[in-house]
Structure 1
Amino acid sequence: MIAHCLAKTKEIDRDQWLEYRKRGIGGSDAAAIAGLNKWKSPVTVWLEKTGQIEPEESSEAAYWGSILEDIIAKEFSLRTGLKVQRKNAILQHPEYPFMIGNIDRLIIDKKHGNGILECKTTGEYNKGDWEGDKIPDHYLIQVQHYLAVTGLQYAYIAVLIGGNKFQYKLVPRDEEIIQYLIKIESDFWKLVESRTPPEMDGSQASADLLDILYPNSLPDSRIELPPDAEKLITEYEEAAAEEKAAAERKEAAANKLKAMLGDYEVGFIGKRKVTWKTVTSARLDTKRLKAEMPDIYSQYCTESVMRRFSIK
């Protein structure tokens, strides 16, 4: 293994671990930077690494994935005969120190050389992502990132699907992917160091970053936009039209199903259930409150500032 040890994880708490993670790009970060992590965008990674937002708390699924990691590692060892051991460290690439990683287990194999074991859990509804030789792209990128950091030649991904289906798959080192990751991660880390935001995308993180960078408009200010703006306006308007058409199709389907239900609250077809229930909710009539009790309305009314976007 060529990797350096950035920190021993047995000796640090979670807050310290998160601080060390800000010093580089991890496996799940790599997938996000490559645009292959459906839970995180490149802008989110940039905001985390520059300390402008805190990483989200672990989800329930991530919690149970961590709890079951040891069981999956033991089952892999039992089925393959390969010895595995914990590597309680944040590892760091010796040449590209911004490339870091926490591997789940190190595979000890004197005959074929050591490797990496990554342990995953997923729901039954994701079983199609693992059929045959398939492995989700974000996990492949994560593993290749770890192989780059460690210099090792192979990894296995072991996955428990739906709590009762166990699989493991070999992932050989892919130099083409690794060189691609080194390039995009090097470019991304320069943006972190210079605090230059990455290109905006359609994520909520991008919208939040724009609100942080440009919270208020300059009154009566004007600017001549660059030529690329024409293409973006067209994309925006086409997407808006598609969104409107999709919303109308959605509403039409809902109305037809409601007509089928009539007075009935619940309907079934096969394993699917359709409901149209009566729900009572209380809402504050702000117009009436403002008209009849203006003092109370002004006492509890809070002012918010936002920038409204439109194209004409």
Structure 2
Amino acid sequence: MAELVNIKDLSHEEWLQERNTGLGGSDAGTVLGVNKWKSKAQLFLEKTNPELRQNIDNEYIHFGNILEDVVAKEFERRTGKKVRRDNRMLRHPKHEFMFANLDRVVVGEKALLECKTTSHFNKELWEDDDVPAQYLCQVQHYLAVTGYEKAYIAVLIGGNNFVWKEIKRDDELIQIIIDAEYDFWHNHIQANKLPEIDGSPAMTEFINYMYKDIDEEEIELPEDVDTLIKAIESCKSSVKETTELQKKYENQLKDKLGNNVSGKSNNFLVTWKQQVKRVIDKKKLEEKYGKETLDQYHKESKYRVLRIKQIKEEQ
């Protein structure tokens, strides 16, 4: 483990610049493909073009930073252990592209503490011995950099449910992380080769963010775009056929139930219950209060829509 710099001496911008010189623990889950909030292509673009980094200084992150000290103190209270801050940015002794910013170090142990906060909607992800995969990768990345024997992770769930867990060093997983990060850093970041753009929600959101500004121009697209469009149309056709087939099977199942609200087979319980859906009658509201009054409560959002139209038959 080698010390790089004391982050207390850095401004926020300088800290971000240092982060772009390697891969941190929060990048590990993305590189291994288990972070649903960010794709590898997005991480590549952020590392190679920092100006493309989305502004993620939202309320969750703001209060997460504030509550880090609360989580650390509660961990001390519940475990009897002592922790201290570590303001160093650390580098792996062999793989310098791997760095670590630790939340806390456990006094008297070769161990670290990672502090988290999350919504109560995510509580099932922390049940029993479970730890979300992206955080498990993050912690094992830190253990790789520091050489520590174990880590603790503590999380405040929904503001009133505290959970802490011990995570043993897993050298097999660490080697997988090192290999994946080595490949990503050397064969993509340093080679300036964009990973494949995938269809994850994170990549979709980032692409929409990156190209939200519109140039009113028509450009000439490369020839390989036709192959891409054919693949899109093939997927649409496949989805349509699959949906129609699903509806067919659902109708056949409904016919088996008839007027009965439920039925049981050897392996399944099937229910076909009545539900009530309530919607606002916009027409009646306009008649009563006037369209101009209702327009005051409309929220407008702008987004780009991708449409494909064939302009020439294939030869």
Aligned to 1:28: 26
Percent identity of equivalent pairs: 37
Distance 1:256 1:72, change over 3 A: closer
RMSD of Structure 2 on Structure 1 (CA): 3.8
Partners of 1:44 and 1:154 in 2: CA distance: 30
Code of the residue aligned with 1:105 in structure 2: it is R
Code of the residue aligned with 2:64 in structure 1: it is G
1:97 equivalenced with 2:96 (yes/no) = yes
Aligned to 2:220: 218
Cα pair 1:32 1:45 within 8 Å, conserved: yes
Q: CA deviation at 1:56?
A: 2.5
Structure 1, 52-61 or 160-169: larger mean CA deviation: 52-61
Q: CA deviation at 1:210?
A: 9.1
Q: CA deviation at 1:211?
A: 9.9
Cα pair 1:34 1:184 within 8 Å, conserved: yes
5+ residue gaps, structure 1? 247-254, 266-277, 283-304
TM-score (norm 1): 0.72
Cα pair 1:200 1:206 within 8 Å, conserved: no
Distance 1:94 1:310, change over 3 A: farther
The one-character-per-residue Cα deviations of 1:40-68 (angstroms, maximum 9, x if unpaired) are 11111101110251243322111111101
Aligned to 2:130: 134
Aligned to 1:143: 139
Q: CA deviation at 1:30?
A: 1.1
Question: Which residue, out of 188, 193, 200, partners 2:190?
Answer: 193
Aligned to 2:253: none
Q: CA deviation at 1:306?
A: 9.8
Partners of 2:136 and 2:95 in 1: CA distance: 20
Cα pair 1:147 1:173 within 8 Å, conserved: yes
Partners of 2:5 and 2:243 in 1: CA distance: 48
5+ residue gaps, structure 2? 247-274, 285-290, 297-303
3-state SS in 2 of match to 1:56:
coil
Partners of 2:192 and 2:5 in 1: CA distance: 25
Partners of 1:170 and 1:38 in 2: CA distance: 24
Q: CA deviation at 1:174?
A: 0.8
The one-character-per-residue Cα deviations of 1:67-108 (angstroms, maximum 9, x if unpaired) are 011111111112212221111011111111111121100112
Partners of 1:11 and 1:242 in 2: CA distance: 58
Q: What does 1:54-203 align with in structure 2 at a 5 Å threshold?
A: 54-109=53-108, 113-190=109-186, 191-202=188-199, 203=203
Cα pair 1:28 1:37 within 8 Å, conserved: no
Distance 1:310 1:9, change over 3 A: farther
Code of the residue aligned with 1:8 in structure 2: it is N
TM-score (norm 2): 0.71
Partners of 2:173 and 2:70 in 1: CA distance: 30
The one-character-per-residue Cα deviations of 1:219-242 (angstroms, maximum 9, x if unpaired) are 7x645977x997775445434667
Aligned to 2:266: none
Partners of 2:244 and 2:126 in 1: CA distance: 35
1:37 equivalenced with 2:57 (yes/no) = no
Distance 1:309 1:162, change over 3 A: same
Cα pair 1:144 1:173 within 8 Å, conserved: yes
Code of the residue aligned with 2:277 in structure 1: it is L
